[in-house]
Amino acid sequence: MPTPDGPRLLVLKIGGSLFSDKRRDRHLDAEAVRHYARVAAELHRAAPGRVVLVSGGGSYGHGAVRDLDPADPFAALPLTGANAELRWAWTEALRGAGVPAFPVQFAATAVLGADGAPALCGEAVPRLLAAGILPVLSGDCLPTPDGRLVVVGSDLVPGALIGLAPEATRIVMLTDVDGVMDGSTVVWHLTPATAGAALGVLREAPRWDTTGSMVGKLTALLAHASGGAECVILNGARVGTASRFLLEPLSTWPETLPRTTVVADRVNA
């Protein structure tokens, strides 16, 4: 749903491509993490208790799950360790930027629903928000009822948070391109009904990417939009630390800022 007064909850996902080289293992660009921590800090200060940060996996997440043994139901477990390090790096950078940030392991606060999608359980995240704290989440592996661990990439994490502010959640995904591209042109608006063609123009994900690159991102956002969220893909390089506009109604955003919005058909068609 578009949020005419701006969102009640902003989920900011920072793509791993912005702070990490996915072809390497456990690589982090500390300066980039500090920069995007300042972007998130600005949002938190503008709207304490209304912002959640989700870190992309970068080389930590993708590195941990690239070569999983399909015969081992617990093979994905190292993802939990790798992404814990990543969340801690963000938490320290956010603390450095003066923000009360707190890392939250996704599997400790979400479960897989009957449809396979992760859903928030328990009070941990809403209580952090109510206390004016910035939760720092990431992808994780979650157990199935029969004891297997399933990888839940960071693009899927925001979907579990929509219930915290139904019809008033905005999901902003910062990445290293201007949005969904059709050649050199950005596709400004997509809905579940119009996305078929866009999915067709997406290139295959590179070998080192484990979550489908833009295809995975768009597929996740289409599901989040169907769940009532207003979703935007933006180039992180175009968003400076004057990031408060991300909390404002979309109609007030600079027209010169390329982006792809993904919302449910009933409102965008």
Contacts with ligand ADP by CB under 6 A lie at 15-17, 56, 175-177, 180-181, 201-203, 209, 213-214, 217
Q: How far is the CB of 11 from ligand ADP (least distance, A)?
A: 14
Sequence-distant (6+) residues with CB within 8 A of 163 are 119, 120
C-alpha distances (whole Å) from 9 to each of 89, 167, 193, 201 are 23, 10, 25, 31
Residues 178 to 217 in contact with Mg ion, rule: CB under 5 A: 211
Q: Tokens 């899927």 — which residue?
A: 156
Strand partners, 54: 13, 137
Cβ distance to ligand ADP smaller for residue 193 or 197: 197
Beta partners for residue 50, in sequence order: none
User: What does 176 bind: Mg ion, ligand ADP, none (CB cut-off 5 to 8 Å by kind)?
Assistant: ligand ADP
138: helix, coil or strand?
Answer: strand
Q: Which does 181 bind (CB under 5 to 8 A by kind): Mg ion, ligand ADP, none?
A: ligand ADP
Judged by beta carbon distances under 5 to 8 A according to partner kind, the member of ligand ADP, Mg ion, none in contact with residue 140 is none
Q: How far apart are CA 40 and CA 239, in angstroms?
A: 11
Question: Which residue lies nearer to ligand ADP by CB, 168 or 198?
Answer: 198
Nearer to ligand ADP, 59 or 80 (CB): 59
User: 3 or 138: whose CB is closer to ligand ADP?
Assistant: 138
Name the binder of 177 from ligand ADP, Mg ion, none, CB < 5-8 A by kind.
Answer: ligand ADP
Residue 98 φ/ψ region, left for φ over 0, alpha for ψ in the -120 to 50 degree band, beta for the rest: left
- Residues at the contact surface with Mg ion, assessed by CB under 5 A: 211
